[in-house]
Structure 1
């Protein structure tokens, strides 16, 4: 049995059922222990499984996570089993790269100010616009998503520096550094962009010292995970004008409380974790699932793509 803990659109369900007509497929909007006990394959967004559910996974062989983030899953418990866990790493790269580029261009080309003057019925031609061409962007996490952002930024004449744990070369990066070189490299960048996952190594990676090392005209964007930087550290950096502006799609606490002081900062755009949203999201996810399903049914388990390293958390 294949057990979905969410209910896709009717057209997507029809496509799946035609693709594997011999399978029993159950769709629900919550985790049912009885169905979980019967399931051989579980399809989930990865936010609804608890360690307690592990007791019901008697027949489970493969968990397909229709998301890139897996930090809310019982990773330690899963690591003690032989259950294959795979996700849709990289699926967000198109919509997220477009979202990031839209925010960067909006900031550089003064679009918020232009819109404000229109609402005020003002014809104001003096704007603080500047060119993206020739800027340097430091991209934290140049994997599938970060590399796509690097590709688009390079097309605008931006110099790209990638930063990951090892400093190993990544696509569309003009230069690479490791985490331990970050503090020394930050002063060179006008744009600092993070798409890092949440792991033990990335949690609170950016400290007050890192923001003090940035240029006062830096544009900081966090589109990875909210625990990259503590909320109070981010607020302090923005209030003290240690950086010029920030755009955050993720936050330490989500949903962001309505009384959060972040909403009132004039040099911050609050994006409510929407950068990856796309009408094609599940369509792309299920394309990955169907291809991996073929490998799974043939017993070619090593051919299943995007298998997760449960110890590393990604």
Structure 2
């Protein structure tokens, strides 16, 4: 079986794949430009997903399965994939450790006044006149109750938090005290000290959080977005901060990336900006390719119970 990687993979991962699948023909490229010469003959493609277009899919005459070694798949050419009946799987779940750590890191950064402490150290200022707070015993509302949402809720329990999960179905999910639907969220926002968005980018979630939602949150609430930037309007976040509807916003994703240097977010003391890195981890490739390896074994044995199958009709 010919397997093409348009995603640049570390040498040790290439060696490992060749070792555990010696009967398969792996072609490792650094980008899609290099990979295009091999597209016509491959059955399986490993990609980040961002390099896939309708034109690329049309060149891959024998392609049956695409493994996206990323959690997000919103940029895929779903219409073409659906028309061709191509199987798509993702690396959903590989970010649960770094991204859940990130959430609690930034919440403690805000509540324990991390920026102030660092600035005081830099300027050699000795003072204990800093108003710190605790994240323990607070209420956290998490929009998105999948693998990452459950991990965040699980860790929240170590801080004795009450957890509210928001999803389309509102079905009961482990580690959440309360599970509600998207439509029910408005009636719970006033209870949330922390609101965390891990929503993917779909037609249903674009512009999901609106200014009215910030108005419903407590004045001391902290809003964290690590899902997709288009889940909320930057103008609405900025207005919510200026009008003191919430106390702080932590944003790792944005409607436009990179965030322009002249964007007002950079100047706001009550907005913390990080550069779409909440999922960064030295274990990224190992975890993603473990999922691929497990799926390849199932694919070769015609086992339909593969991990993280993407619904190309729904777009996630």
Fold similarity call, TM over 0.5: yes
Counterpart CA distance in 2 for 1:220 and 1:282 is: 30
Equivalents in 2 of 1:163, 1:171: separation in Å? 13
Deviations 1:11-49 (A, max 9, x none): 111111111122221111222433111110000001000
Q: Provide structure 1 residue ranges, at least 5 long, that are not aligned to the other structure.
A: none
**Residue aligning to 2:309:** 307
Mapped partners of 1:139, 1:16: distance in 2: 37
Q: Which runs of 4+ in 1 moved over 4 A?
A: none
Supply the distance in 2 between the matched residues of 1:72 and 1:100 (Cα, whole angstroms): 25
Is 1:208 matched with 2:211? yes
The alpha carbon displacement at 1:279 in A equals: 0.6
**Matching residue of 2:30:** 29
Deviation of 1:70 after TM superposition, in Å, equals 0.5
Matched pairs, number = 313
Please list the CA deviations of residues 175-214 of structure 1 after superposition, one character each: whole Å capped at 9, or x if unmatched. Answer: 0111111112111101000111111111101111111111
- Judge conservation of contact 1:132–1:157 (CA < 8 Å) in 2: no
Q: Does 1:273 align with 2:276?
A: yes
Q: Provide the rounded CA distance (Å) in 2 between the counterparts of 1:190 and 1:110.
A: 16
C-alpha distance in 2 between matches for 1:167 and 1:86: 25
Contact 2:8/2:31 (<8 A) preserved:
no
1:138 partner SS: strand
Instruction: Give the match for residue 104 of structure 1.
Output: 107
Contact 2:14–2:28 (Cα < 8 Å) also in 1: no
Query: Counterparts of 1:199 and 1:70 in 2: how far apart (Å)?
Result: 10
TM-score, length of structure 1 as denominator length:
0.97
CA positional deviation for 1:85? 0.4
8 Å Cα contact 1:65-1:88 kept in structure 2: yes
Task: For 1:171 and 1:197, locate their aligned partners in 2 and report how far apart those are by CA, in whole Å.
Answer: 20
1:192 aligns with 2:195: yes
Q: CA RMSD in A?
A: 1.1
In structure 2, the gaps of 5 or more residues are: none
Greater alpha carbon shift after TM alignment, 29-38 vs 159-168: 29-38
